[in-house]
A and B are shown apart, each in its own frame.
Chain A
Amino acid sequence: SQQGEEDPQALSIQEGENATMNCSYKTSINNLQWYRQNSGRGLVHLILIRSNEREKHSGRLRVTLDTSKKSSSLLITASRAADTASYFCATDLYYGNNRLAFGKGNQVVVIP
Chain B
Amino acid sequence: EPEVTQTPSHQVTQMGQEVILRCVPISNHLYFYWYRQILGQKVEFLVSFYNNEISEKSEIFDDQFSVERPDGSNFTLKIRSTKLEDSAMYFCASSEDSHQETQYFGPGTRLLVL
Chain A residues with CB under 8 Å of chain B are 3, 30-31, 33, 35, 40-45, 48, 50, 88, 90, 92, 96-105
Is B100 in contact with A30, judged by CB distance below 8 angstroms?
A: yes
For residue B68, CB closer than 8 A to chain A, the reply is: no
Q: How far is the CB of A18 from chain B (nearest CB, A)?
A: 25
- The DSSP consensus for interface residues of chain B is strand
Q: Given the known A-B contacts A30-B100, A88-B43, A101-B45, are A96 and B56 also in contact in the complex, defined by CB atoms under 8 Å? A: yes
For B44, the closest partner residue in chain A by CB is A102
Chain B residues with CB under 8 Å of chain A are 31, 33, 35, 41-45, 48, 55-56, 58, 89, 91, 93, 95, 99-108, 110
Is A45 in contact with B104, judged by CB distance below 8 angstroms?
A: yes
Complex Cα spacing A37 to B46, Å: 19
**Besides the contacts A42-B107, A105-B42, what 10 more A-B pairs have beta carbons closer than 8 Å?**
A3-B42, A41-B107, A97-B48, A98-B33, A98-B48, A98-B95, A99-B56, A100-B33, A102-B35, A102-B44
